[in-house]
Structure 1
Amino acid sequence: MSTSVSAPPRVATAGRRAGVLAALAALALTATACSSSGGDPLGGKDSAAPAPGSASGSAATGAPAGGTVVVGSANFPENVLLGSIYSQALKAKGVKVEEKFNIGSREVLYGQLQSGSLSVLPEYNGSLLAYLGGKSADPSTAAVNAELAKTLPAALAVLDSSPAEDKDTLSVSQETADKFGLKSIADLAAKAGELTIGGPPEFKSRQEQPLKDVYGLTFKEWKSTGDTTANAIKDGSVQVGNVFSTDPKIAQLKLVPLTDPKSLFAAQNVTPLVNKAKVDATATGALNAVSAKLDTEGLLALMKKVAVDKEDPSAVAKDWLKSNGLS
């Protein structure tokens, strides 16, 4: 795991990613596809990927003037929100846009992008690379994108990645962080034998050995907590859990995501994936401008509005674009 971008432990069929805790647990099922089974927001890793074509990845240009850019999204709230941000940013630059949101998982979306039925899709670079069967010895954003440029079919390209990531974290409660002096995953080494870790069913099989190899962690017990991992951390059923970085429950339950100084979890940056024949320089510039402004903290705040406060994704996107000078 520490030496390659491996397939994150999230599957396409997983569910989506008393009192306040019960309400938050219910919200988790609809808040984000990322909170259910780990690492691949668009799903589909376990299905056969389309055969990669020739090297690609340069900025897309050359769409006919006045052509319609079709912005798609997967069928979970975060991706719909990102699709709406892309769509409205393009419209603000005078680009004619059609929206096709809530389509499905990567198997469907990727084929539609290749065929040109879709022009733009909010993607996650590490998961996309794994889906295509590529690997990077370096888990950094730049290295992952460099491998994507070699792996994508010639018709497709990734544009600039945003700093925003939807990725695996090991998170703890504030009480546990204070008790054991935890700030990073490395800090768990001396205490892991006393702690129970929770996560989706796939998390143990895919991450137990990498956690040993990279950080020397051997936990007292592993529990399958699925969609309730954040709640299990809060109520003490587990002391450490696999929670995804844009899950609104991190803020709601005041959890502490531990830093990952050895980059166990590879880059999962929100990144526009485009059909190069369907977007011109104006569209490319608008999408790259969004990426320059979008970070993980900001995306988490946006997802709270959508998933917890039940605000309309289109309205949330509009407000974000306006506040960042992109509308």
Structure 2
Amino acid sequence: MKRIVSTVALLAAAGMTLTACSGGSSSGGGEGVLSGASISVGGKDFTEQLVLCEISVAVLSDAGADVTNRCSIQGTEATRAALLSGDIDTYWEYTGTGWITHLGHPDAIQDSQEQFEAVKAEDLEANQIEWLDYAPFNNTYALAANADTMAKYGISTLSELAAINEEGQAPGLCVESEFSVRNDGLPGMALTYGTEFSADQISELATGAIYQATGDGDCEFGEVYTTDGRIVEFGLTVLEDDKNFFPKYNPSPNVREELLTEYPAIADVFAPISAALDEESMTMMNAAVDVDGEDPADVAVDWLTEKGLIG
């Protein structure tokens, strides 16, 4: 990528540990294996999803499919509805979101493989949606703060945040609107940690604005994604989820069963992509977009090319 060296240096200088989980394959599913297939690819409207969507567009096109790009659908529910209705044929969804939000289970399964197997089996039977091999990185939710806020409250865990809230110190939170109503967001966190934040403590902001505002101290604690490079850019510290509330969010290509039955090679095309998407790769690509200002499509193609996953 054009500025990938500067991004890696930024992460390393801040002392961020990147976990390289699985190595990539040397090639994708093979040129031409999807000739004749018409595939509509979707994705949600935040950075990581834009990159994942553009990865899908590139690899499916490389395999010979006629691809319609429908990246940047607004919101989780709208993207899922597009898949169920057939408006799109595939997008990357997270296992925790599938299990809790789409299938309606109140409690997460903390083992990644078990979570994947459970959501895969149930969603196929109930909705004819296939979950292909999941990537090893886990982009879960977290709350983070800048150094001044951490020093002010002297806490490092979500349990300690709950305790100071109950004591009446009333810390402020900045979150996305979706996080404030999701079972795997504030409502579920309140049940697990035994505290609720009042409406006047909560500010709803767009995803990107939360990182800036938290880094500047305009928000005391902000909702973040753990693979987001802006955690490092804005000098944020993530509070430990010491009760393991937040689910595993391993991404998997979701594909309509009807299409996969007609073109089973889709699974072969995606398999090496999922294997190569470790935490280091995803964090690096997110930072290339959000920190270095790269276009998600360029970032996706550069990464795929460097990994030898497209020709």
TM-score (norm 2): 0.68
Provide the C-alpha distance between the structure 1 equivalents of 2:102 and 2:188, rounded to a whole number of angstroms. Answer: 22
Give me the identity figure in percent: 25
> CA-atom RMSD, angstroms?
3.4
Matched, 1:282 2:255: no
* Residue-by-residue CA offset, 1:198-223 (whole Å, 9 max, x unaligned): 12375566656644543355779723
* Residue-by-residue CA offset, 1:6-25 (whole Å, 9 max, x unaligned): xxxxxxxxxxxxxxxxxxxx
Matched, 1:240 2:221: yes
1:130-279 to structure 2, matched below 5 A, reads: 130-135=100-105, 137-140=107-110, 141-145=112-116, 146-152=118-124, 153=126, 155-177=128-150, 182-188=155-161, 191-192=164-165, 193=167, 194=169, 196-200=171-175, 210-216=188-194, 222-227=201-206, 228-279=209-260
Provide the C-alpha distance between the structure 2 equivalents of 1:136 and 1:174, rounded to a whole number of angstroms. Answer: 34
Provide the C-alpha distance between the structure 2 equivalents of 1:125 and 1:178, rounded to a whole number of angstroms. Answer: 35
Q: Which has the higher contact order (CA 8 A, sep 6+)?
A: 2
TM-score (norm 1): 0.65
Residue 93 of structure 2 corresponds to which residue in structure 1? 123
Residue 55 of structure 2 corresponds to which residue in structure 1? 85
Residue 291 of structure 1 corresponds to which residue in structure 2? 274
8 Å contact 1:164–1:294 — kept in the other structure? yes
8 Å contact 2:174–2:204 — kept in the other structure? yes
Amino acid aligned to 1:276: E
Structure 1 unaligned blocks of 5 or more: 1-63
Rate the CA distance shift 1:296–1:191 in 2: closer, same or farther, 3 A: farther
Provide the C-alpha distance between the structure 2 equivalents of 1:218 and 1:178, rounded to a whole number of angstroms. Answer: 23
**What is the number of equivalent residue pairs in this alignment?**
263
| Superposition deviation, residue 254 in structure 1 | 1.3
| Superposition deviation, residue 73 in structure 1 | 1.7
| Superposition deviation, residue 135 in structure 1 | 1.0
| Superposition deviation, residue 247 in structure 1 | 4.3
Structure 2 unaligned blocks of 5 or more: 1-32
8 Å contact 2:100–2:108 — kept in the other structure? no
| Superposition deviation, residue 271 in structure 1 | 1.5
Rate the CA distance shift 1:271–1:191 in 2: closer, same or farther, 3 A: same
Matched, 1:70 2:45: no
